[in-house]
A and B are shown apart, each in its own frame.
Chain A
Amino acid sequence: GAVVSQHPSWVICKSGTSVKIECRSLDFQATTMFWYRQFPKQSLMLMATSNEGSKATYEQGVEKDKFLINHASLTLSTLTVTSAHPEDSSFYICSARPPEATYNEQFFGPGTRLTVL
């Protein structure tokens, strides 16, 4: 159980374009999902908490108008990187918490590697 998928696994785009990344919980419903970004040789940085049916909560310093999050169903959250630039190139990973998780155990998707040319 507790399987999280992401799509696509990698994407290359031109500067100025927008990219949408999907995160799905496959065998459980997740009212809350999390989006992280990881630059090479650095740890995970939480970008935002995605809440089903309501607005996402963004971490300090993360531009909400640039990183659009939609959590329209209990199994799907999307992250759209708008007007992507080379500095947005990173490894984007989502996680979700199963309902039975007593202590906020989070399970991660396989990640999406974004390269902006």
Chain B
Amino acid sequence: QKEVEQNSGPLSVPEGAIASLNCTYSDRGSQSFFWYRQYSGKSPELIMSIYSNGDKEDGRFTAQLNKASQYVSLLIRDSQPSDSATYLCADNTGFQKLVFGTGTRLLVSP
């Protein structure tokens, strides 16, 4: 059973700070991962994908993947109150399915 673990939070950061969200996964063979943002009452929105070890940057977002440690992270620089949401890490299992973590709730205070 493939699993994705996330701390449920909430993770509280002040506006302008860096928010660091983490995720571990159980399947050593997993190759790619996605980060989705979900606002309360809304559906998930894809914000980042990462396939290779190392960092991938897109605007204020940086995804990091460490396959040896089975660890994925998302850094949000210059956090804004509008970033307050639940962030879901998803393992692309290779069988068309995505396995989601339970999500980390991020709160950015003005």
In whole angstroms, what is the CA distance A6 to B88 when docked?
21
Q: Chain B residues near A34 (CB, 8 Å)?
A: 97-98
CB neighbours of B31 from chain A (8 A): 103
Contact in complex: B44, A108 (CB < 8 Å): yes
Binds B, one of A14-22, A43-51, A72-80, A81-89: A43-51
The reply to whether the CB of A54 lies closer than 8 angstroms to some CB of chain B is no
Distance A44 CA – B45 CA, assembled complex (angstroms): 13
Specify which chain A residues have a CB less than 8 angstroms from the CB of B45 in the assembled complex: 108
Contacting residues, chain B, for A110 (C-beta < 8 A): 42-43
B80 contacts partner chain A, Cβ-Cβ < 8 Å: no
The A-contacting residues of B in range 35-88, CB under 8 angstroms, are 36, 42-46, 49, 51, 88
Return the chain B residue nearest A51 by Cβ: B96
Shortest Cβ distance from residue A110 to the other chain B in the assembled complex, whole angstroms: 5
Q: How far is the CB of B39 from chain A (nearest CB, A)?
A: 11
Contact B43 A105 (CB under 8 A): no
B109 interface residue (CB < 8 Å to A): no
A-B complex: 10 closest residue pairs judged by Cβ atoms: A111-B43, A108-B43, A103-B32, A43-B102, A43-B100, A104-B92, A93-B43, A44-B100, A108-B44, A110-B43
